[in-house]
Each structure stands twice: as structure tokens, then as C-alpha cells.
Amino acid sequence: MADAVNGASGAAVGRRDPLEGRLGGLADVGKLVLRLTTGGLMLFHGVDKLIHGLGHIRSDLAAAGLPTVLAYGVYLGEIVAPICIILGLWTRLWALVYAGSIAFAVATVHGRDFARLAPTGAWAAELWVFYIVCPIVIALLGGGRFSLDRRYFLRAYPP
């Protein structure tokens, strides 16, 4: 009878994590860490392009037969989107913009990485997969409790 009530593992059904009430819950802390890590790592790429310009992006686009004006989209995908993700400001929207911009860059420049291994033996595309999948996960989860979304925009609409 205990298994029927508690489940096969013996854990109590409906029992909350004892740490869930602290700091707004571990799930919200996890969302914050994911946002800070993903947005922070991509922001380095965007700042590098601010400092060194978009010349190499333009040449990659031209080599792919695309208009070089698309290079300015890098600023949205690698600066604006990561900052908004870090702050948790319109998190879901900017996470999708971020994922889309990286997917476009990968398709344009790094597409061959999906079919080869790096010199270290790792999959050459693993970093690109990280930079596409993590913002998709952020878009699915939302900004969480420690975000400007929650603080200012969703006050009237609690989860």
C-alpha cells in the first residue's frame, strides 16, 4: 500500500524539496545561472565585434553570396540579446533571437563542423550546439523569479 501512495521509489508524492522555499527555489536559481552563463559567454563574442569591427563577418557573408548589410544583425544577436537574457528582460523573445542568429551564423560559416571531429576528438559542432540549444532552453523556461520580466512586467500575471 505504501508503494501505491508514495510511488515505486518510496518517495512521498506531493512532497516539496526542502530547499525550494529558499532564495525563491532552486529552479529559479538554476534559471538565473543558465541565463548568466549563456548570455555572458556570448557577450564576449559581441564585445569583440564591437572592438574589432565586422569586416570578417562581411567577408563571410559575401563569400556565401549574402548581402553584407546582414552583418549588423550580429549586434542584435551577440550584444542586445545576451544583455537582455542576462537581465531577464523579454527573456523568451531575446533567447529566440539569440538562437536564431547563432543558427544563421553556423549555417553560413560553420556548417561543415557538423560532419567532422575536432583535432581533440570532440565533435567540431559541439560549441555551436551549445550556443543554439541553451537559449532555446531559456526560451522554454522563461527568465524565472530573478529576472526583470518577473519583477516589472509579470507582476499582474503571476505564474
Average pLDDT of the segment spanning 9-15: 56
Task: Put residue 90 in one of left, alpha, beta given phi > 0 → left and psi -120 to 50 → alpha.
Answer: left
How high is the pLDDT of residue 156? 45
pLDDT digits (tens, 9 = 90+) for 52-105: 999 999 999 999 999 999 999 999 999 999 999 999 999 999 999 999 999 999
Q: Mean pLDDT score of the chain, rounded to an integer?
A: 85
How high is the pLDDT of residue 22? 57
Identify each DSSP E strand in the chain by its residue range. Answer: none
pLDDT band at residue 8 under the 50/70/90 scheme:
low
Q: Where are the domains of the chain?
A: 25-153
Average pLDDT of the segment spanning 103-120: 88
Assign 158 to helix, strand or coil: coil
The verdict on pTM exceeding 0.95 is no
pLDDT band at residue 127 under the 50/70/90 scheme:
confident
